[in-house]
Amino acid sequence: MPRVSIVIPVFNDEEFIAAALDSSTGQTLEDIEIICVDDASTDNTVSVIEGYQRRDPRIRLLQQERNLSAFQARRVGVMAARSPYTLFLDGDDGLAPATASAASEKAVATEADMVGFGSLIVRGDGRTGGAFEKRLQPAHASLEGAAILKGIFPIGKPASGQIWRYLFRTEVLREAYSYLPEGLVLRRANDVPLMFLVAALAQRYVSIPDRLYRYSFGSGGSGQRVGDMERAEFYVSAIDSIDSIASAVRKIAWLHSEPGLVMDSYDNVRKSVIGFTTGYLVRQTSAEMLPEVLSHLHTRASATDILVSAARFSADALAPLKSHGQRIELGERPARHVLLTTLTLRTGGVSGVLLAQARYLLEAGYRVTIVAKRAGSDRSLIPEGASFIESSAKGLSDRLAEWARICREYEIDVAIDHQILYTRDWPEYAMAARAVGVPTIGWIHNFAGRPVYDLKDLHSLMQRNMHLLARLVVLSELDVAFWKLRGVPHTVYLPNPPSPMLIESSHSAHHKTAPEGRIELVWWGRLEQHTKRVLQLIEVAEQLEKRGLDFRLNVIGPDWGEMTAESFNAEAQRRGLGERVEAIGPRRGKDLTDAIDSADAFVNVSIIEGYPLTLPEAQSRGLPVFMYELPWLALVQDNDGIVAVPQDDAAAIAERIDEVFASPERYEAMSEASLRAGQRAMSYDFSQLWQQLITGTLPGEYSPEPTLEDAQRLIDLLLFFSERNAGLLKRK
């Protein structure tokens, strides 16, 4: 009886089989059998084998009448084997002379079901080594029980199931095959399924470091260009291979000591196969042919599995996947359940808009789920009746899987993402939603020039991926013009909802009378320098001081980043203005409204904003507004309660304040105009607007066509932002 059976599946290997047989017959262990299973070759492979048979009786030839894949050929060889141990050798590879003896001796000495050994990768030009070869070397000296599956198919890592890297106990191989249909044919990735089942069944694994297998890289199907659909279908069939063992895996898991491990490991291996296949197709297929290839890929795996698998194992495939598939139009199915998402829930800003949306949608009879993508939300802010989920997934792949699961299990009809201007992975989330049939609405909370001002490359990313959104919502007509000129026709603008202060003010505010003594000025927001430029308030104070005005400017708000009330006040003191301007920290509720009501005017020095709620809030309390120009803001159009001057011109703000407060009649007219502007901000039927948005029935007036004047204004603004940050403008 032979001690080791060497099973060689062959198909049209005439060019290579002699070398494979030489390496087999040249084993230092003589007690072997060499089982060649011909898979219906059409060349002279069989003749070569028969010639070797005549010289070496240890060689056996088994022939299949038709081509049934290497998987089936190996099965035939295993079932015919007479040895307690089996090695696999592909017809275009080779074995080191000591392979059979070294591996079998280790197996006998340790009573192992599997013995791993090293491999040598040989390329067409004779080169060896490299990262691939390094990955093929044994990672563990020994493993037992469930640790074998964990060690050979570690979760979170790409599956590496090359069956020729091991010597097996023949009975374990036969047990693995017993879970599968006898006639199963697997064209691609045909070793991974068997390898996984054996790893789940084996009880003891050991390894030796010797590089005993000689793998000829590129001589088979790997590394080839995808030139036609037949080749594409061959590569995609790898997914069929791993899917073919799903039932067997469930049966083995039922009997396994750690069933959860078996199922989780299988899921990881399956996603690895899908991810690798997707990445390979993307890299090896021409741009012209890729759409058809990806369409075929989506017939073998779900869009969610393809996306999640690519994110985990072939991130370079994500960009082509984003371009594949159609945008889901709003209104294609009834909308009953809306998902709203941001990073974290907190007071004000983006969260304030999202929470107002949630309340209006709930009042309109919609179901609402709010998802925070990061930890740290203030759960007390969640409106009654809304569901809340705080994402706990780590890594993009797991986050996308979670996103698709939420959309599916919560029966989401429309998702509204409030973070597309602030995150780089929003396209992947939109893809995950699209994969389960959910359209995504993207909401931009700042002027279109914000990435230019920030010197970030977000515009390129956004333009490439806007087709993933069912609708893009912006805050002004000029923003609509920007995005339409950039090729995003499905852009609309909508006003932001009123804040609680604005709602409260609509019932209690009245116009103000001009002060007779000291002028009380106020600013509130977060103490942020980059866009709100709070230090400009000190510049304004300095110019007011130069004009001899008696005033005080209170700066209200929390510290933000490196800007603190302490550092702000230190700068004011340094410039001799400590008695005139002071940061007094945050105020909330009645304390904030009392501070606002005790003021005579609001000063705004931001360089870029989307929809600064402080403007309508100030005007709703009757305060005139003095600000730097933000010409895209819908709030400032036809608004006589606002005086705007060019950016950075603190002297001009001081001059306008001086002029207005010198005329009580003009001051009171501005106060009354502010009240009217505040009422206009409250005049929208937000419930109706958002219902029209999510059903795709917004009137055309919310999506105007751009004009030449719009283009000229946009060019001027974008040049201003870029030149300012590039230091080409003289700063005051």
* Burial classification of residue 373, based on how many CB atoms lie within 10 Å of its CB (0-12 exposed, 13-18 middle, 19 or more buried): buried
| 268 shares its domain with 416 | no
Same domain for 34 and 178: yes
Quick check: is 433 in a domain? yes
Question: Are residue 352 and residue 286 in the same domain, yes or no?
Answer: no
Q: Is the pLDDT of residue 731 over 60?
A: no
Structure tokens given for 620 = 């709703």
CATH number for position 484: 3.40.50.2000
- pLDDT score of 726: 72
Mean pLDDT of 655-670: 96
| Section 439-443 average pLDDT | 97
15 is a domain residue: yes
pLDDT tens-place string over residues 156-193? 999 988 999 999 999 999 999 999 999 899 989 899 99
Is residue 698 in a domain? no
Chosen domain end from 453, 471, 493: 493
What is the rounded (10 degree) CA torsion for 438, 439, 445, 451?
110
320 and 355 inside one domain: no
What pLDDT does 17 receive? 96
Please tell me whether residues 456 and 546 are part of one structural domain: no
Using DSSP's 3-state secondary structure scheme, residue 418 falls into: coil
Contact indicator for 479, 444 with CB cutoff of 8 Å: yes
Residue 686 in any domain: the answer is no
Last residue of a domain, one of 435, 468, 493: 493
Q: Give the pairing type, strands 166-169 and 94-95.
A: unpaired
Q: What is the pTM of this model?
A: 0.87
Distances (CA, A) of 400 to 263, 280, 346, 405: 20, 21, 24, 8
For residues 538 and 527, the answer to whether their CB atoms sit within 8 Å is no
pLDDT of the residue at 264: 97
pLDDT tens for each residue of 212-248: 999 987 655 555 789 999 999 999 999 999 999 999 9
Confidence (pLDDT) at 1: 87
Residue 460 clears pLDDT 70, i.e. is over it? yes
Number of structural domains (the chain) is 4
Q: What is the CATH number for 192?
A: 3.90.550.10
pLDDT of residue 688: 92
Q: What is the mean pLDDT of residues 422-427?
A: 93
DSSP state, residue 400: H
Q: How confident is the model at residue 704 (pLDDT cuts 50, 70, 90)?
A: very high
461 and 516 in a single domain? The answer is no
Mean pLDDT of 540-566: 95
The DSSP 8-state label assigned to residue 427 in this structure reads: H
- Residue 710: inside a domain: no
Strand order in the sheet with 414-417: 387-390, 367-372, 337-342, 414-417, 440-443, 471-474, 491-493
Instruction: Tell whether 203 and 297 lie within a shared domain.
Output: no
Domain's final residue, options 303, 325, 347: 325
Backbone angles phi, psi at 722, to 5 degrees: -70, -40
Is there a single domain that holds both residue 363 and residue 488?
yes
The amino acid that residue 334 corresponds to is: P
Higher-pLDDT residue of 220 and 266 is 266
- Statement to judge: residues 35 and 160 lie in one domain: yes
Residue 732: which pLDDT band, with cuts at 50, 70 and 90?
Answer: very low
**pLDDT, tens digit, 9 for 90 and up, residues 267-292:** 999 999 999 999 999 999 999 999 99
What are the distances in angstroms from CA 120 to CA 93, 103, 129, 546?
10, 16, 7, 82
pLDDT at residue 729 greater than cutoff 50: no
- Of the chain, the end-to-end C-alpha distance in Å amounts to 95
pLDDT, residue 221, reads 53
What is the average pLDDT score of the chain?
Answer: 93
Q: Are 730 and 365 in contact (CB under 8 A)?
A: no
Residues 626 and 638 in one domain: yes
- Kindly state whether residue 384 falls inside one of the protein's structural domains: yes
Within a domain: residue 464? Answer: yes
Considering the domain architecture, whether residues 617 and 596 belong to the same structural domain is answered as yes
pLDDT at position 220 is 55
Q: What 3-state DSSP class applies to 98?
A: coil
Residue 325 confidence class, pLDDT cut points 50, 70, 90: confident
Query: For the ranges 62-66, 136-140, 221-225, 305-309, which has the lowest average pLDDT?
Result: 221-225
pLDDT-derived band at 727, boundaries 50, 70, 90: low
State the residue range of the domain holding 546. 502-681
- Verify that 217 and 231 share a domain, yes or no: no
> pLDDT tens digits for 480-489?
999 999 999 9
Residues of the chain with pLDDT > 70, as a percent, come to: 98
d(CA 49, CA 559) in angstroms, rounded, equals: 81
Q: Is the pLDDT of residue 348 over 80?
A: no
In a domain, 687, yes or no: no
Q: Is the predicted pLDDT of residue 664 greater than 90, yes or no?
A: yes
